[in-house]
Amino acid sequence: MIGALARAWAGLLAAMALAACAVLFAMMLVIVGDVLLRNVAVPGLPRGIAWSNEVSELMLYLTTVLVAPWLLRQGQHIRVDILLQAIPPRLAWVLEWVADVIGLACCLVITWYASRAAWASYVDGALSIKTLVTPEWWSLAPLPVVFAMLSVEMVFRMVRLARSERGPRKDAVSAA
């Protein structure tokens, strides 16, 4: 049961990473379109895309949150493990647990506060007023979702760690 759930979860995270690639590609198109229109006069079209910077910022943010759980699963997140490679394997394994517990706690706390912030923004009807006027909660809503997903991935990491040999993880090792 856990194996099937883990495979489905991995598929969801891979799909999110692929969606992040699509968002990044769309961001590139918006930026190229803006630069092209600013530098080449095309009859009937504006000189640039006024909202391109704002939308590009949001797309970069969305790319980051979409890919974060997949990166954590792959062990490609930022990790300083030189100490774990230098100490006895059993102690390194225990410290991996400590790091995972702290990571899970942080993800859960951020999920809680991000949910509260997004909900408060929705209830208050707060607006983001720049070139485009959008409800503020639209940009806040992905945060609690992604941190909840990061929490789930932290649990899967803990399951994988419990089933692994007693030593530091082998993913993303920076020192031998």
Domain of residue 121 covers 2-163
d(CA 54, CA 51) in angstroms, rounded, equals 5
pLDDT in tens, the chain (176 residues): 678 888 999 999 999 999 999 999 999 999 999 999 999 988 888 898 999 999 999 999 999 999 999 999 988 777 777 888 889 989 989 999 999 999 999 999 999 999 999 999 999 999 999 999 999 999 999 999 999 999 999 999 999 999 988 888 877 555 44
Q: Are 89 and 167 in contact (CB under 8 A)?
A: yes
**Does residue 77 form part of some domain?**
yes
* Overall domain count for the chain: 1
**Does residue 169 form part of some domain?**
no
Q: Are 174 and 81 in contact (CB under 8 A)?
A: yes
**Does residue 21 form part of some domain?**
yes
- C-beta atoms surrounding 157 within 10 Å: 22
**Does residue 171 form part of some domain?**
no
